[in-house]
Homo-oligomer: A and B are copies of this chain.
Amino acid sequence: MSNETDIKQWLKDNRAKGARFLQILVQENSTRENESSAQAIIIEKCRQLGLDLDIWEIGGDGLTQHPAYCCDRKSFGGNPNVVAVLKGSGGGKSIILNGHIDVVPVGDEKNWKHDPFSGQIECGKLYGRGATDMKGGTVALLMAIESLIATGIKLKGDVIYQSVIEEESGGAGTLAAVLRGYKADGAIIPEPTNMKIFPKQQGSMWFRITVKGRAAHGGTRYEGVSAIEKALIVIESLQELEKARNEKIVDPLFDKIPIPIPINIGKINSGEWPSSVPDVAVIEGRMGVAPDETISAAQQEMINCLQKINEQEDWFKENPLEVEWFGGRWLPGNLESNHPLIQTLSESFSEIKGEEPIIEASPWGTDGGILSNIGHTPVVVFGPGVTETAHDANEHIVLEEMFNASEIIALTLLKWCEVSQVQTTEEEPKKMVQ
């Protein structure tokens, strides 16, 4: 049998165990600052596979003083980053397989039909917080690696598997891995893309704009200046800015995306008393960053937009708008669509799925922005998760797609890292370790 056939067969034979592995991973609540128990399962798995393990608590000035560091977490103690390397024989291209172990909070539990940490399987779907974002992707990665080991295939290039913390809060885990020296000739991040291939990813950052007014009694509101009315001017200008920025996006990867780089106004708070004219309004939101744009260039566009308002109206001349950049920030990703990694992944996709993959730009940033911008590692985002259910109640993954993704990734590893030698043996391929 060929290597490919061996791998596909092994992966088909071990589906039930793969599903069970995802189940126990989902059952470990790994929300922020609680990543340790899920990481322990990952570590044990990598140990059984015989990978070279690097387990460390991130932190230190090298990380926290880095310009790309964006994190308000006080301590990383007890919740390590994990990197596990399947060393190649040399001469092949290396690859990073990156998954984050942290999951977002469950939100209102009333909206879930199962316990969010049950890992319940129903009609081929596995439910639970993190099932899709992105423990399902993680299982696809680990199954792909194990299929190589179990079938005795040895690669030339290194396979660097990473299970990082903090992706949902700005990427400090992946940044720490980059700064620890982990770079490669390519990287796959199996975030929930609905099996689409994303060479480019929208970056983003949060902003806060404070709009001043002047208080007055509501009965003589004409004696004051309503911060809410002034905020409407700001919101309209931001809507125009969003339009202008998106009209500049001509990359065909964005053809099917209504607003490639949205400016989302997520919050507005103004006023303390119904019968007073509000004297301050605070707008908070998320600004999308184009794949070929820098964070600072995008910031400057918003600053210019506000500056224009400040210059056009007397009120704002005296009470200028200012923007703060706070909280989350995700660097964009920008791999060319014809990069060899995309080609290799696409071929593997077609082989397994029998159809051409959809290649698009992603509407959100991932740790890929850090891997590519800081680590100079070409990144593609491709994974089995259901985009729509990420961060939502009843998050789930279609197990069939998780298994398809593991096959596609395994074939990609064969081609990308190249096969060094096949361990010829009379014995059956090993069973998946538990």
Interface residues, chain A, with chain B CB atoms under 8 Å away = 202, 204, 206-208, 217-223, 226, 228-229, 232, 235, 258-259, 262, 264-278, 281, 284-286, 288, 327-328, 363-365, 388, 390-391
A390 to B220, alpha carbons, bound, how many Å? 12
Query: When the two chains form their complex, are residues A219 and B275 in contact, meaning their CB atoms are under 8 A apart?
Result: no
Sorted nearest first, the 6 A-B pairs with minimum C-beta distance are: A218-B264, A267-B271, A275-B286, A219-B364, A218-B286, A219-B363
A240 to B413, alpha carbons, bound, how many Å? 64
Query: When the two chains form their complex, are residues A278 and B266 in contact, meaning their CB atoms are under 8 A apart?
Result: yes
A235 to B270, alpha carbons, bound, how many Å? 14
A272 to B276, alpha carbons, bound, how many Å? 24
Query: When the two chains form their complex, are residues B258 and A266 in contact, meaning their CB atoms are under 8 A apart?
Result: no
A221 to B265, alpha carbons, bound, how many Å? 9
Query: When the two chains form their complex, are residues A228 and B274 in contact, meaning their CB atoms are under 8 A apart?
Result: no
**B residues in contact with A273, CB < 8 Å:** 266-267
Query: When the two chains form their complex, are residues B268 and A271 in contact, meaning their CB atoms are under 8 A apart?
Result: yes
Contacts A/B (CB < 8 Å), 14 sampled: A204-B218, A217-B364, A217-B391, A219-B363, A220-B363, A220-B364, A221-B262, A226-B265, A228-B235, A264-B274, A266-B272, A266-B278, A267-B271, A274-B285
Tell me how many chains of this kind the complex includes: 2
Query: When the two chains form their complex, are residues B364 and A259 in contact, meaning their CB atoms are under 8 A apart?
Result: no
Query: When the two chains form their complex, are residues A269 and B268 in contact, meaning their CB atoms are under 8 A apart?
Result: yes
Are A275 and B264 also in contact (CB < 8 A) when A235-B228, A364-B219 are? yes
| A207 shortest CB reach to chain B, Å | 7
Q: Which of A275, A365, A390 has the most CB of B within 10 A?
A: A275
**B residues in contact with A235, CB < 8 Å:** 228, 232
| A388 shortest CB reach to chain B, Å | 8
**B residues in contact with A259, CB < 8 Å:** 221-222
| A261 shortest CB reach to chain B, Å | 9
**B residues in contact with A281, CB < 8 Å:** 268
Query: When the two chains form their complex, are residues B286 and A264 in contact, meaning their CB atoms are under 8 A apart?
Result: no
Query: When the two chains form their complex, are residues A274 and B286 in contact, meaning their CB atoms are under 8 A apart?
Result: yes
Q: Which of B219, B266, B274 contacts A284 (CB 8 A)?
A: B274
| A268 shortest CB reach to chain B, Å | 5
Query: When the two chains form their complex, are residues A206 and B275 in contact, meaning their CB atoms are under 8 A apart?
Result: yes
**B residues in contact with A270, CB < 8 Å:** 267-269
Q: Which residue of B lies closest to A226 (CB)?
A: B265
Query: When the two chains form their complex, are residues A204 and B275 in contact, meaning their CB atoms are under 8 A apart?
Result: yes
| A228 shortest CB reach to chain B, Å | 5
A277 to B207, alpha carbons, bound, how many Å? 14
A102 to B220, alpha carbons, bound, how many Å? 22
A223 to B388, alpha carbons, bound, how many Å? 10
**B residues in contact with A363, CB < 8 Å:** 217, 219-220
A327 to B276, alpha carbons, bound, how many Å? 14
A229 to B229, alpha carbons, bound, how many Å? 14
| A311 shortest CB reach to chain B, Å | 24
Q: Which of B206, B223, B274 contacts A274 (CB 8 A)?
A: B206
**B residues in contact with A204, CB < 8 Å:** 218-219, 275
Query: When the two chains form their complex, are residues B219 and A286 in contact, meaning their CB atoms are under 8 A apart?
Result: yes
Q: Which of A223, A265, A276 has the most CB of B within 10 A?
A: A265
**B residues in contact with A206, CB < 8 Å:** 274-275
Q: Which residue of B lies closest to A270 (CB)?
A: B268
Q: Which of B223, B272, B284 contacts A267 (CB 8 A)?
A: B272
A277 to B363, alpha carbons, bound, how many Å? 14
**B residues in contact with A391, CB < 8 Å:** 217
